[in-house]
Amino acid sequence: MYKIRKAEKLAENIFLMDVEAPRIAKSCEPGQFLIVKMDEKGERIPLTICDYHREDGTVTIVFQIVGASTKKMAELQAGDSFRDVIGPLGQASEFIHEPAAELKEKKYLFVAGGVGTAPVYPQVKWMKENGIDVDVIVGAKNKDLLILEDEMRAVAGNLYVTTDDGSYERKGMVTEVIKDLVQNEGKHYDQVVAIGPMIMMKFVCLLTRELGLPTIVSLNPIMVDGTGMCGACRVTVGDQVKFACVDGPEFDGHLVNFDEAMKRQTIYKTQEGRAMLKLQEGDTHHGGCGHCGGDE
């Protein structure tokens, strides 16, 4: 069992938890993820490691309610436990292997969208700890859905916050901020790292290809084991099929087939929808509405 040390609501439907997992806390690096399984009947859910405390033996996860499992997970409190926490999984971000001197010469831009702010944070924090100031763009739908702002501000060189509806700081999509920084403010970047919803990463990549900025993305396909034994998470990168759980999750964004990846994310949409309805409506859910399939 893996005890939850802290459970906190960051925004509507977005939660942060510190979980005791000493082996993971000891060995994880930025860019890696873990898998949690709530209880005996639960499914295995991949989540990026948002932070880690090696001495405490804890790791931090941030998740958004998107379906039945995450809704149940959000009800857990400090003191409760996960039955299983597995990791760290996947490859660490490439930059941690680069010689410090070379890394310091490079100009990095991190682009975070929504709950994707959580996986960007440990990377920016790692840069700060290694004496590198990076630019960071954080995008959220609105002010209320913005997460980890103070934490990010503490580790970023320049932080640019944007909201889709303009309710806080800049107004517009993250792509507009990238354009603005490069074309109007004359900024130059050697490497962009973009993490967020698949559709956001796709549009960031379309733009950065045009601007000639190399871009790394962190993919979030469906996973089961997360150790390379099933291929549920396979993605096409260039002309090769890769397993995101072992070869990634980070890839050259200009080579990723986003359309295929987005289609594959929807495989279990019907079942997921039914599970959510069943959870929300409990015993009152008997189908018969003709839409949910519960009567089948």
Site residues (vs other proteins, CB under 8 A): 23-24, 27, 32, 37, 41-44, 68-69, 83-89, 224-225, 227-232, 234-236, 241, 246, 260, 263-264, 266-268, 271-272, 275
- According to DSSP, the residues that pair with 59 across neighbouring strands are 19, 52
**Strands in the chain per DSSP E:** 2-11, 14-20, 33-37, 44-53, 58-64, 81-82, 84-89, 108-113, 135-140, 158-163, 170-171, 191-195, 215-218, 234-237, 240-243, 250-252
Q: For other proteins, which is the closer residue by CB, 21 or 161?
A: 21
Cβ 8 to other proteins shortest distance, Å: 24
* Alpha carbon separation from 183 to 164, 177, 187, 203, 207 (Å, rounded): 20, 10, 7, 17, 12
**The pair of three-digit structure tokens given for residue 91, joined into one six-digit string:** 């490859």
Q: C-alpha dihedral over 284, 288, 293, 296, to 10 degrees?
A: 100
Q: For other proteins, which is the closer residue by CB, 88 or 114?
A: 88
Cβ 19 to other proteins shortest distance, Å: 12
Q: For other proteins, which is the closer residue by CB, 76 or 232?
A: 232
Cβ 167 to other proteins shortest distance, Å: 35
Cβ 116 to other proteins shortest distance, Å: 23
Q: For other proteins, which is the closer residue by CB, 72 or 254?
A: 72
Q: For other proteins, which is the closer residue by CB, 206 or 232?
A: 232
Cβ 49 to other proteins shortest distance, Å: 12
Q: For other proteins, which is the closer residue by CB, 206 or 275?
A: 275
Q: For other proteins, which is the closer residue by CB, 59 or 152?
A: 59
Cβ 260 to other proteins shortest distance, Å: 6
Q: Tell how strand 108-113 and strand 44-53 pair up.
A: unpaired
Cβ 103 to other proteins shortest distance, Å: 23
Q: For other proteins, which is the closer residue by CB, 72 or 143?
A: 72
Cβ 252 to other proteins shortest distance, Å: 18
* Nearest partner of 255 among 236, 269, 238, judged by Cα: 238
Q: Tell how strand 58-64 and strand 81-82 pair up.
A: unpaired
- What lies within 8 Å, CB to CB, of 169 at 6+ separation is 160, 161, 162, 163
Start-end of H helices in 21-180 = 22-27, 68-74, 100-105, 117-129, 149-155, 174-179
Pairwise CA distance, residues 182 & 186, whole Å: 5
Task: Specify the DSSP class assigned to residue 145.
Answer: G
Pairwise CA distance, residues 269 & 255, whole Å: 26
